Amino acid sequence: MSRPRAGSRVQLPARLTGGARAVGAVAVQIARRVGRYVWPSADGVRNRVFLRDRLVALPLLAVVGFGAFGWAHTEVRDDSAFVRDRLAPALVGLADARASLFIAQGAAQENIGEGRAVGIGGLGDRYRTRVTRATQSLNQVISSGALTVAEEQELRVVSALLVGYTGYIGQAQEHAEDQVLRKAALAYARSMLCSKPLVPAADDGRYPSCRATTGSTATAIVDRVSGLERELRGRLADRAVWGGRVIAAAVVSGLALALFALGIWRTLDFLRHRFRIRLSVPLAAAALPLLALPLLTADALLAQRAQHDALPVADTLAERTSPDTEAVAEEHPYAAPDPQAVDVLADRIDDSLADGRLAFLDGVGPYLIPAGLAAAGLVGGALHTYRREYLVVARPGAAV
């Protein structure tokens, strides 16, 4: 096989050169049409050419612009609704369940240690109330719709472990007078609650606390609940930032709608000067949906900001809530609420997400795509009518 000599030109196949020329010609034609569309010359464009270009460009821009904007707005609103109706209640439920279990453990240890577990009162109303509350909170999280299938299975395992935990507390109650059996049952129940030893600083308090572990050793109830909290907080953080698809749709819709608005204005001006049409009602009606875009943009920005503001509240729910705070709030319901109490944080996150949107625009986003189609139909129909009437009445030899 012979090689080309040094200094000689490499000849490309004729098919490749022909294809490159065709692509270049198409690019030049597109650039010429775009330039003519964006800023046409008042004297250098013929009426039929102007109407033909607008008949294609304006409906296409309306469909693309309103369609992309409607999808982006709906995506942001759906994320906000998911956080408000599912993620936030699930985070509150997990935090409440974790604190309730610690309070129940403290009440059980106090009653059994003081010998009150044997008798009519049993383990006390606080223990029963808090165990029931923890169970209900876990069930509400399961039915919230915020969890994946694997996470729902994990939470069902937690519910099963909770049944075993209450069983060992019951054994400690039955053997309250036998120190060895009582301590063994309490120790096993506590190991089911926390895989790591209790935090030394918390042992002196009224209610126990423990450090949650991760990885393969995360087998206790608190470990699994804390793991689910981390997963939900990560999901909230993902939804609190602008996604790549939303940003791309916003850019596309911004360019398309800007060109659409400019095209409508230039077309109205053209019809006024060339056809003596003072105002084209169909074109003006097609431009009306543009008036709603500033409000919808502000609504999307508010929703995204509300999701971002919910992040620190979610972190506080998972990391700063404590059984001592919840017990004080339970004992003194009319006192000034602690800012780190679960109910206070739940109200904060609910208020933030509820205020993070313009309520009167609920459900408007999905209608932007039909609005774009309607605008495209109005523009296309009006320009087709003007073009047909113009071609009918144009005299031979006239500038068309």
Q: Could you report the per-residue pLDDT of 125-151, keeping only the tens digit for each?
A: 889 999 999 999 999 999 999 999 999
Cα dihedral 138→140→144→149 (10° resolution): 40
Q: What is the mean pLDDT of the chain?
A: 83
Residue 172 confidence (pLDDT): 86
- Residues near 335 by beta carbon (within 8 Å), at least 6 away in sequence: 328, 329
Residue 336 confidence (pLDDT): 79
Residues 153/167, Cβ–Cβ less than 8 Å: no
* Mean local confidence (pLDDT), 116-121: 54
Residue 203 confidence (pLDDT): 43
Residue 40 lies in a domain: no
Residues 368/72, Cβ–Cβ less than 8 Å: no
Residue 5 lies in a domain: no
Any bridge partners for residue 198, and if so which? 210
Six-digit token pair at 9? 């030109």
pTM value surpassing 0.85: no
Of the candidate ranges 53-62, 193-202, 327-336, 377-386, the one whose mean pLDDT is the lowest: 193-202
* Mean local confidence (pLDDT), 45-60: 81
Residue 174 confidence (pLDDT): 85
How many domains does the chain fold into? 1
Residue 27 lies in a domain: no
Domain that holds residue 200: 45-388
Task: Give, as one character, the DSSP assignment of residue 198.
Answer: B
Residue 19 lies in a domain: no
Residue 14 lies in a domain: no
Task: Region of 302 please: left (phi>0), alpha (psi -120 to 50) or beta.
Answer: alpha
Of the candidate ranges 17-26, 68-77, 101-110, the one whose mean pLDDT is the lowest: 17-26
Residue 4 lies in a domain: no
Residue 166 lies in a domain: yes
Of the candidate ranges 112-126, 234-248, 283-297, the one whose mean pLDDT is the lowest: 112-126
**Residue 9, SS3 per DSSP:** coil
Residue 391 confidence (pLDDT): 58
Alpha-carbon distance of 309 to 67, in angstroms, equals: 29
Residue 20 lies in a domain: no
Position 9 pLDDT exceeds 60: no
* Contacts of the segment 90-93: beta carbons below 8 A, 24+ positions apart: 90/141, 90/144, 90/146, 90/147, 90/232, 91/229, 91/232, 91/233, 91/236, 91/314, 91/317, 91/318, 91/349, 92/317, 92/342, 92/345, 92/346, 92/349, 93/137, 93/138, 93/140, 93/141, 93/144
pLDDT, tens digit (0-9, with 9 covering 90-100), for 63-99: 999 999 999 999 999 999 999 999 999 999 999 999 9
* Mean local confidence (pLDDT), 48-62: 85
